[in-house]
Structure 1
Amino acid sequence: MNKKTVILHIGLPKTGTTSLQQVLHFNSAQLKSRGIHYLENGTQYFDDFGHHAIAVSGMGIAGARVTPHLDLNALRQVWHQALDEIRYSPHEKVFLSSELFSMEYSNENSIRSILQALTDNGQVDIKVVVVLRDVADFVNSVYMQRVRDGAPDTIEEFIPQIRHLLDWKTLVERWAAVAGKGNVVCLKFEDLAASNLVSRFCEIVFGITERLAEPEHFLKNPSLPDAAINLIHKVNRSEISPAAKIGLANHLSKFFADHPLREPKTSFLSPEQSQALRAGCRWPQDVIS
């Protein structure tokens, strides 16, 4: 019998992770028929069925700031149940996906701790999958999401907050130092998105060539037109209540999900800012197209 492998998809955010998590969870029975177990524990806490609760629970007390709606007891319970689900799964591969792994596990010690737990101290093999993206487009998309989530800061205030994360070579080397260089698979978002992102991901990672079905109620996260996102940002910087701010953002997101406008995506970055970000972001050599 082959040794079990945990396939850990760590993001990045804004690289199709929400779509991927929803489709794979929806097709979990079909995946199991192919020996791939989409981990169930923890997915019930998030609409996209990602494993964010696992990522947060692996951070211990520090994780409480990321998901304040989950108390420490709930996180501990999720953690132990998830490890048992991996340990006792009869399937050859167990898949987990959360972009929080790439953003919150920022040093080798935290990575080593989570990988040792997920692999039962080496009893299970590990494969880490990371989807990288043009860094300027990444920053623009992450910032837009922050605005939609109620953040009042400007793009100039936001960039320094995440600058330490914006070197893809360092990110990959950090995970490879613990998992092993041959156990980290790097994909490029732009190449995946040129066809069907989920299908291409599954072809590379799982060897599945047929297209998986999408759930009927698909969680959509559409880009908003300039006028809408600028209105949200203006309201975020006002004295209006936080609940009203989120209510406006949710209303506009739902409206444009139901009535999309074919407009270019809003760009918060100047050409000079984009150029500086790209100049400071190194890419790893081995990226699968």
Structure 2
Amino acid sequence: MNAHNLIHIGLPKTGTTSLQNGWLGNDNVTLSNDGLGSLVEIIRQAIRDDLWYEQIPPIPKPEWDKVVATSQVNIWSSEGLSSWLWNNAAAQEQISKCRWYMADSMAKVVSEATVLIVVRSPQAWCKSIYKQLIQEGGFVSPEEFIQQESGYLSGTLDIRELYEVWAEYFGRENVLIAPFEWIKSDLVKLNSKVCQSMNLCDKTNLFKGVQQANKSITDKEVRFLADLSRQLTQLEIRAEICPASFTKAKQDLLTALRLELQTAHQISNFVDKQVPEINLQLQLNDAMKKHIQQNFIEFLHDYNHEWFGHYHL
């Protein structure tokens, strides 16, 4: 029996790690996630070098991270398939080119597949990306973040384009867009819809073992991390005797602190008492709002109002 194929392409910050960890332990599926790394990086480098698609070096066939001999389902999963890199002053043109190159390359790997796109509320998604930047050592303000990343945020949230690109290669009926809320609270429904799209019996549990990821850091913790990163960076750039030690200490401290905040309680309680109340808001500019309204909100309302009618700016 030929296996069914599922290509999961993100978006970023929509439960990808939870899904991949679940699939790694799921004896119903064969999985390639890290195995897609070479494909994704070769295409990203081609875009950095402003190459035409025909100029891209040969791309090795993706490797499997886990093989189940009796599996009915092969899954390819990478957020890198859906957009360009954030924190790289992304332009709409780069994101569009990335999507076409990724979809075309995957169509050469597997000719027939269901494509799974997971989305979440635009405001919540933008805020999650900002939190990720802070967790990785950034310390820009929300206003600076919007100014610097408006191209990436608007371009990545152009779900109309993302859908059309992948539908061009795999067919409209084979591109499934699902709300992030299903991963958080209704895996049964997600499983049913994906199985239905793949013509699989919904007794096949594709999401067995999927668990919630680490908790999101709070607004207070975001402020605390940003302030700490700013102070550590000032020390780092002024270090004269052993600057490399300052750099390593900063990285180690921020990594350890992030882990504590996401998985434990004592430091979280300390931060909660030390930092004044804050309501972290990202104010999108008018151009972003118009683009997201047309190519995310209105598109998804037309795609399936029952699933996405609660999404608004």
* Count of residue correspondences: 251
Q: Corresponding residue for 1:15?
A: 14
Q: CA deviation at 1:56?
A: 2.0
Distance 1:54 1:231, change over 3 A: same
Give aligned-pair identity as a percent: 23
Q: Does 1:286 align with 2:266?
A: no
Q: CA deviation at 1:60?
A: 6.3
**Partner SS state of residue 7, structure 2:** strand
Q: CA deviation at 1:127?
A: 1.5
**Partner SS state of residue 178, structure 1:** helix
The one-letter code of the counterpart of 2:37 is: A
What 5-or-longer segments of structure 2 have no aligned partner? 50-57, 85-94, 196-201, 237-246, 273-277, 308-313
Which structure's CA Rg is the greater one? 2
Which of 73, 76, 96 is 1:93 aligned to? 73
The one-letter code of the counterpart of 1:203 is: S
Which of 63, 78, 82 is 2:63 aligned to? 82
**Between Structure 1 and Structure 2, which shows a larger proportion of helix residues?**
2
Q: Corresponding residue for 1:257?
A: 262
- Calculate the TM-score normalised by the size of structure 2: 0.65
Distance 1:178 1:204, change over 3 A: same
Summarize deviations over 1:137-169 as a string: whole Å, max 9, x none: 101001101111122333333332412222222
How far apart, CA to CA, are the structure 1 residues paired with 2:39 and 2:62? 13
| 8 Å Cα contact 1:54/1:82 also seen in 2 | no
| 8 Å Cα contact 1:12/1:130 also seen in 2 | yes
Q: Does 1:154 align with 2:141?
A: yes
Which of 117, 123, 141 is 2:128 aligned to? 141
Distance 1:145 1:60, change over 3 A: closer
Summarize deviations over 1:231-284 as a string: whole Å, max 9, x none: 221233332444344323322222123325699xx8542466699375353333
How far apart, CA to CA, are the structure 1 residues paired with 2:114 and 2:235? 46
Q: CA deviation at 1:90?
A: 7.1
Which of 158, 163, 175 is 2:166 aligned to? 175
| 8 Å Cα contact 2:143/2:283 also seen in 1 | no
How far apart, CA to CA, are the structure 2 residues paired with 1:137 and 1:229? 15
**1:103-122 residue pairs with structure 2 within 5 A?**
103-104=83-84, 106-107=96-97, 109-119=100-110, 122=111
The one-letter code of the counterpart of 1:286 is: Y
**1:1-289 residue pairs with structure 2 within 5 A?**
1-2=1-2, 4-27=3-26, 30-31=27-28, 36-39=29-32, 43=34, 53-57=37-41, 59=43, 61-62=45-46, 79-80=60-61, 82=63, 91-104=71-84, 106-107=96-97, 109-119=100-110, 122=111, 125-159=112-146, 160-162=150-152, 163-195=154-186, 197=187, 199-206=188-195, 207-208=202-203, 212-213=208-209, 220-237=213-230, 238-241=233-236, 242-260=247-265, 268-270=280-282, 276=289, 279=293, 281-282=296-297, 283-284=299-300, 285-287=302-304, 289=307
Q: Corresponding residue for 1:46?
A: none
| 8 Å Cα contact 2:43/2:102 also seen in 1 | no
Output the aligned Cα RMSD.
3.9
